[in-house]
Amino acid sequence: MTKSSGNVPTGRNQAVRVKTAKRRSVSSARWLERQLNDPYVAEARKRGFRSRAAFKLLQLDEKFGFLKRGQRIVDLGAAPGGWTQIAVDRSKSDKGGTGQVIGIDLLEMEPVPGATTFQMDFTIPEAPARLKALLQGPADIVMSDMAANTTGHTQTDHLRIAGLAEMAYQFAVEVLAPGGTFICKLFQGGAERELLAQMKKDFATVRHAKPAASRQDSSETYLVAMGFRNVAAPAAAPDEA
């Protein structure tokens, strides 16, 4: 099977205009218009992806090359399943098997073949515990596309998304194998400085990235941390004489 690429054709089709209707607000009309004119939305439907966000993960992987066959991958904020689909596809072996892909989201999502998914709020203590129970060994990748509901107040929204990223990171350092990768979404705004400083201590490389599939008018960005050092792991016992 040919692996999916993050490339999306950009044609010059005539833009679709959406007018406000009796029960459609101006903001709803603008959102619908943007969806209808978004080449990533059209290409996602064509390829059978659950969402345009699948292209963000594809483009991040094409840049950094962290997805490999046979990996254990945890997808936080998985719904509707675009990232989960890519994780399953990229972790497939030549014999058709996969490593292990687990997805969790506050929202309900349709099952993704080849993955284990469940609906639960990641911020409650039971959620990380359930993920750990499902993992069949240390994770190779923990990835988070979680985002809090926006309030309209920029600083508050930055703090909320940074809080989710910190929770995802805490979980990641508890389950990642040495050399593992952590990926999370943030909105630029300065609230991530402490998290970034800690990540630089725990990983060999930490990079900011804004994939082409991220909307240009969004402050959304991703942190990609590779080469987990696992400095908190206990030292191995010396061999007996």
pLDDT of 16 reads 43
The DSSP output letter for 188 is S
Annotated binding residue at 97? no
Residue 28 has pLDDT above 60, yes or no: no
Annotated binding residue at 140? no
Q: What is the mean pLDDT of the chain?
A: 83
Options 22, 92, 185, 201, the catalytic residue: 185
Annotated binding residue at 121? yes
User: pTM of the prediction?
Assistant: 0.82
d(CA 212, CA 171): 28
The percent of residues above 70 in pLDDT, for the chain, comes to 76
**Stronger pLDDT, 235 or 185, i.e. the higher one:** 185
Strand partners, 225: 182, 206
Annotated binding residue at 48? no
Which domains does the chain possess? 17-48 (no CATH), 50-228 (3.40.50.150)
Annotated binding residue at 105? yes
Known active-site residue 19: no
The two three-digit tokens of residue 131, written as one number: 């993920």
Q: How far is CA 5 from the centre of its chain?
A: 17
Least confident interval from 23-32, 46-55, 226-235: 23-32
Residue 187 has pLDDT above 70, yes or no: yes
Residue type for 70, please?
Answer: G
Cα angle 151, 127, 98; round to 5: 110
Residue type for 129, please?
Answer: A
